[in-house]
A and B are shown apart, each in its own frame.
Chain A
């Protein structure tokens, strides 16, 4: 069974640009989560999508947004990139319907903002 997949593996952008990151969950999983892992800050929760709806959001500015498609894949968009947005962005998926289900992570997208 295929795990969570993310694309691209690496992304290099300049300040002020926009970045789009993509995630495909494990087959049968309907919840998708996004996390940011910045150097020295650990993993920080960004967003939770379930059944196409945003269910919860972490303490990040509105320029971090996303969506979930009918096939449960998801996109994370980061507008007006800042240098401190450089990080590993991780997507996780779980069986949906309620929180607390085990989350399985993808390999991540390394975003570098120059």
Chain B
């Protein structure tokens, strides 16, 4: 059972376009983390959101945690080729230690 549905799975856009990646669940998470992973490497943590309704910005990336802490979104403004990669959302459950990962969104930004 996939507890975190991430969409879209694949996205190919032109440089300068905007995009949004969604991460949805019917379960509540204590926190949600977004990672970016390059081929053959480990995921790199981008941001952690903890409070329902929280919005965090990282340069051109905007992350939002849903009010009920069940969903999240990642919005990229004016995408650049350097943004190309696999984006993963991961929900944390209290006292379990484990992160539950979405399937990932493969983003390709063409120059």
B33 touches A102 (CB 8 A): yes
- Chain B residues with Cβ below 8 Å from A56 are 96-98
Do the beta carbons of A45 and B99 come within 8 Å of each other? yes
Least distance between A103 CB and chain B CB atoms (Å): 6
Q: CB distance A107 to B97 under 8 Å?
A: no
B35, B42, B48, B101: residue with the most chain A Cβ atoms closer than 10 Å: B42
A residues within 8 A CB of B44?
105
Question: Is A103 a contact partner of B96 (Cβ separation < 8 A)?
Answer: no
Contact (Cβ within 8 A) B42 A42: no
Chain A interface residue count, Cβ-Cβ cutoff 8 angstroms: 27
Nearest CB of B to A11, in Å: 14
**A105 lies within 8 A of B93 (CB):** no
Q: How many residues in B have their beta carbons less than 8 Å from beta carbons of A?
A: 26
What is the bound-complex CA distance between A58 and B99, given in angstroms? Answer: 11
Instruction: Report whether A90 and B43 are in contact in the complex, using a CB–CB cutoff of 8 Å.
Output: yes
The listed residue (A42, A45, A102, A105) touching B98 by CB distance below 8 A is: A45
Which partner residue on chain B sits nearest A9 by CB separation? B40
**How many pairs of A and B residues are in contact by the CB < 8 Å rule?**
64
Known: A4-B42, A105-B42. A33 touches B98 (CB 8 A): yes
Instruction: Mark interface residues in A31-58 (1 if CB within 8 Å of B CB, else 0).
Output: 1010100000011110010100001101
Query: In the bound complex, what is the Cα–Cα distance between A92 and B88 (angstroms)?
Result: 15
Question: What's the Cα separation between A104 and B96 when bound, in Å?
Answer: 17
Of A42, A45, A100, A103, most buried by chain B (CB within 10 Å of CB) is: A100
Query: For residues 68 through 102 of chain A, which have their beta carbon under 8 Å from a beta carbon of chain B?
Result: 88, 90, 92, 98-100, 102
Contact between A108 and B42 (Cβ–Cβ < 8 Å)? yes
Chain B residues within CB distance 8 Å of chain A = 30-31, 33, 35, 40-45, 48, 88, 90, 92-104
* Chain A interface residues toward B at CB < 8 A: 4, 31, 33, 35, 42-45, 48, 50, 55-56, 58, 88, 90, 92, 98-100, 102-108, 110
